[in-house]
Amino acid sequence: MTKIFKPLIGHTVEVYIDDIVVKSKTREEHVLHLQEVFHLLRKYGKKLNPSKCAFGVSDVKFLGFMVSQRGIEVSPDQVKAVMETPPPRSKKEL
């Protein structure tokens, strides 16, 4: 996937193995960026998994982080898991 999207990576697309995030400032730009991505996917015979797709969202979980207009933040699920972990009771557990 990195080879397919090389010209877009760092600008409108981020890729990690087979996960893709399309980033845009406006809805209009997002539609254009998605069209570019769909064109490249068709060109190289790649398909999307509908259960992993979310279009037009302002916040998205990507690689365990929340990505939004605010930037990249730790996922609330991960914060909750750390907060609910009991403290170590011995040096071995530490």
**Boundaries of every domain in the chain:** 1-54, 58-94
Please, which contacts does 60-65 make with residues 24 or more away whose CB atoms are closer than 8 Å? Answer: 60/21, 62/14, 62/16, 62/19, 62/21, 63/16, 63/19
Tens of pLDDT along the chain (94 residues)?
889 999 999 999 989 888 898 988 889 999 999 999 999 999 999 999 999 888 888 888 878 878 877 777 888 888 888 888 888 888 888 7
Q: What is the pLDDT of residue 13?
A: 92
* Entry pTM: 0.70
Burial of 41 (0-12, 13-18, 19+ CB in 10 A): middle
The residues near 94 (Cβ < 8 Å, ≥ 6 apart) are 88
